[in-house]
């Protein structure tokens, strides 16, 4: 870690958090070994918007935060190489489909960089995915990351406790993603 002590890392993380540079805040806080500061490692920006939306559709806000933390590190205009946008990294086609399901009129994919629209579409999609997996949070997180068809294949076999199932995911990226969410 470039020789920085945990105290120095946490001071740097705090500095980034205060300036709302969420990715630096989290990534720096993640590097501490003994001193763990949950406020900088797991910040909760946009609390009002996230909590209100999540509770409004009966989703655990902590689950939504875990997902956003993995997807974008709270960067509202994040863009992935495959074209996913915003806080919850929603793909344009998924966003259009979800907007239709939610009854949002005149939705345009460019709106995904607006924090509130992204949270509405992302949580709406998350809820639909979660319902399709009978409320299994690990499977829904895997589906959010790898697409819905893969976790269905990985489910075949004995019913496993979520944390054990996550360890058995054959894709490194998705296994790591589900555990971190």
- The residues carrying an active-site annotation are 71
Q: CA 60, 126, 73: angle at the middle one, nearest 5?
A: 80
Measured in whole angstroms, the distance separating CA 157 from the mean position of its chain's CA atoms is 27
Instruction: Find out whether 54 and 113 touch, Cβ atoms under 8 Å.
Output: no
3-state secondary structure of 159: coil
Q: Helices 61-72 and 47-56 sit at what angle, rounded to 10 degrees? A: 130
What proportions of the chain, in percent to the nearest 5, are helix, strand and coil?
60, 0, 35
Q: Which helix (H) or strand (E) holds 127?
A: helix 115-132
User: Which of 15, 18, 13, 14 lies closest to 31 in space, CA to CA?
Assistant: 13
Phi, psi of 85 (to 5 degrees): -130, 150
């Amino acid at each position: 870690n470039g020789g920085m002590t945990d105290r120095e890392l946490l001071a740097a993380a705090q500095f980034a958090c205060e300036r709302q540079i969420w990715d630096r805040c989290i990534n720096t806080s993640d590097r501490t070994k003994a001193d763990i500061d949950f406020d900088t490692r797991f910040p909760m920006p946009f609390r009002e918007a996230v909590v209100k939306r999540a509770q409004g559709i009966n989703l655990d806000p902590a689950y939504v935060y875990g997902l956003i933390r993995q997807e974008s590190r709270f960067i509202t205009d994040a863009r992935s190489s495959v074209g996913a946008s915003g806080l919850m990294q929603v793909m344009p086609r998924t966003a259009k489909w979800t907007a239709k399901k939610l009854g949002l009129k005149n939705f345009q994919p460019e709106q995904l960089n607006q924090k509130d629209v992204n949270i509405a579409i992302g949580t709406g999609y998350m809820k639909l995915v979660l319902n399709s997996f009978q409320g299994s949070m690990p499977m829904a997180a895997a589906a959010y990351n790898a697409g819905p068809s893969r976790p269905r294949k990985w489910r075949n076999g004995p019913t496993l406790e979520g944390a054990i199932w996550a360890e058995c995911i054959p894709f490194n990226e998705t296994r790591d993603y589900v555990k971190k969410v």
